[in-house]
A and B are shown apart, each in its own frame.
Chain A
Amino acid sequence: MHISEGVLSPPVLVAGAALTAAGVAMGLRKMDNEKIPRVAVLTAAFFVASLIRVPLGPSSVHLILNGLLGLVLGWAAFPAILVGLALQAILFQFGGLTTLGANTFIMAAPAVLCYYLFGRSVTSKHPGVATTLAFVCGFSAVLFSALLLAACLVFTGESFLHAARILVLAHLPVMFLEGLVVAFCLAFLMKVKPELLGVTHAAG
């Protein structure tokens, strides 16, 4: 999911950076003191998740966790993913500093979308419904990211359908894995820390 430097054209990079700046501003406005530690923890989780190779069949994949970030952080997923990607670019040369804006938007926008789609319903009292929705949340966050990435690559001359097909197929194992991880994390959080998901004590 990390686009390297020198692949995208300047207009795409500027557009990505502008959208990311808007998202980060929104995220920072919504981030109050209580939320900062959880943003920090999930930033660290995001930063590490991309580095861990999960062997799967003949190849290997890495987690993105943007669905989980969106679910727990909402708009604050933007600053979290920006910080995580910036450190990956500086320390490991993944992606790059010029593509930071575009890369952040590709991963953070689906996170926010998932927050609005599943943020409320995922805390359903019915465990089956909650688990299914959590799985769909993790799955679709990666799917949306792959489609956004394909859309960015259209400007480099690749056809959207071709790029989208390759990207979605390549990320299919990640989507399933992310769905499972989000479902597991949600079950865990509902047990030990339901406030993280916006469930108040009275309701819990």
Chain B
Amino acid sequence: MLPVSYPRLTWTATLVISALGIIAFLTLSTRVYAHKVNVFAWVEGDMVFVEGYYPGGKKAQNSLVEVYNSRGEKLLEGKTNKKGEFSFKIPAKDDLRIVLTASMGHKNDFTIAAGDLGGLEPSSKESITTTTKADAPPSATTVDMSRLQVMIDEALDRKLDPVIKLIRNTRKDGPGVTEIVGGIGYIMGLFGLVMYFKSKQERK
């Protein structure tokens, strides 16, 4: 039994109300979230660090991490810890594709190019030190060079640490308001098109 005195809303009014509701909801909840898992990996020395997280910063704990080379062969696998992190020694100087499989059908991957795996392979670094130890006096300059290389790498790792942290944190942001409003625009436009073609059909 609906009282007659209730004002009947037109479609424009309903649209405006829902749009306002959506905007109010958006501004009230500052952070957006959805079901998607992210992977980020970076190199420090001869180790690769992997981090899995959901938009909004929640960690992907106890998730399977698999590492593949450029030929698609699996090199190693492991599980993320409570902080959603996993680390491993660089297995080969090759493009490494890191695949993270979280629970409930969430999966994503991240590729580290061979060129980003540091200037020296761990094995070659060792070989240089051994050769330099064997004939120490004549190759004094080579010793310095290789040591210098290691020192530069270490210093760079240290200096780049805040930058890497910054990148890790910015990547945790979910979709922005621009994208969301744009998406709503797409929907309205799409259904506008449907109406346009339907009305054309009817006129015929």
Answer yes or no: B36 CB below 8 A from chain A CBs.
yes
Most chain-A Cβ atoms within 10 A of its Cβ — which of B9, B180, B191?
B191
In the complex, the answer to whether B187 meets A43 with C-beta atoms within 8 Å is: yes
Q: Which of B22-30, B75-83, B150-158 touches A?
A: B22-30
Partner of B187, one of A1, A47, A94: A47
Q: Which 8 A-B pairs have the closest CB atoms?
A: A53-B33, A40-B191, A3-B105, A204-B2, A4-B107, A2-B35, A92-B175, A7-B105
Q: A6-B107, A51-B175, A153-B105 are in contact. Are A36 and B191 (CB under 8 A)?
A: yes
A-B contact list, 10 entries, CB within 8 Å:
A2-B106, A5-B107, A33-B198, A41-B14, A52-B33, A88-B183, A91-B182, A94-B34, A95-B36, A153-B105
Find chain B residues with CB under 8 A from A36 CB.
Answer: 191, 194-195, 198
Q: Mark A167-200, 1 if CB is under 8 A from B, else 0.
A: 1001000000000000000000011111000000
Answer yes or no: B131 CB below 8 A from chain A CBs.
no
Find chain A residues with CB under 8 A from B179 CB.
Answer: 91-92
* Extra inter-chain contacts (18) besides given A36-B191, A84-B187, CB under 8 Å: A1-B35, A2-B34, A4-B105, A7-B105, A37-B191, A41-B15, A43-B191, A45-B18, A47-B183, A51-B32, A51-B33, A51-B34, A83-B187, A91-B182, A92-B34, A152-B105, A156-B105, A204-B1
Answer yes or no: A149 CB below 8 A from chain B CBs.
yes
Answer yes or no: A48 CB below 8 A from chain B CBs.
yes
Answer yes or no: B125 CB below 8 A from chain A CBs.
no
Q: A33-B198, A92-B36 are in contact. Are A167 and B104 (CB under 8 A)?
A: yes
In the complex, the answer to whether A125 meets B1 with C-beta atoms within 8 Å is: yes
In the complex, the answer to whether A60 meets B187 with C-beta atoms within 8 Å is: no
Answer yes or no: A87 CB below 8 A from chain B CBs.
yes
Partner of A2, one of B15, B31, B36, B192: B36
Least CB distance, A139 to chain B, in whole angstroms: 19
A44-B186 Cα distance, complex, nearest whole Å: 9
Most chain-A Cβ atoms within 10 A of its Cβ — which of B34, B36, B105, B194?
B105
Least CB distance, A127 to chain B, in whole angstroms: 11
CB neighbors of A among B34-80 (8 A)? 34-37, 56, 58
In the complex, the answer to whether A191 meets B190 with C-beta atoms within 8 Å is: no
Find chain A residues with CB under 8 A from B188 CB.
Answer: 40, 44
Find chain B residues with CB under 8 A from A87 CB.
Answer: 183, 186-187
In the complex, the answer to whether B22 meets A44 with C-beta atoms within 8 Å is: yes
In the complex, the answer to whether A44 meets B18 with C-beta atoms within 8 Å is: yes
Answer yes or no: A54 CB below 8 A from chain B CBs.
yes
Least CB distance, A105 to chain B, in whole angstroms: 14
A153-B101 Cα distance, complex, nearest whole Å: 13
A60-B107 Cα distance, complex, nearest whole Å: 19
Find chain A residues with CB under 8 A from B101 CB.
Answer: 7
Find chain B residues with CB under 8 A from A53 CB.
Answer: 29, 31-34, 56, 174
A152-B192 Cα distance, complex, nearest whole Å: 34
In the complex, the answer to whether A52 meets B25 with C-beta atoms within 8 Å is: yes
CB neighbors of A among B102-141 (8 A)? 103-108
Answer yes or no: B170 CB below 8 A from chain A CBs.
no
Find chain B residues with CB under 8 A from A1 CB.
Answer: 35
In the complex, the answer to whether B56 meets A60 with C-beta atoms within 8 Å is: yes
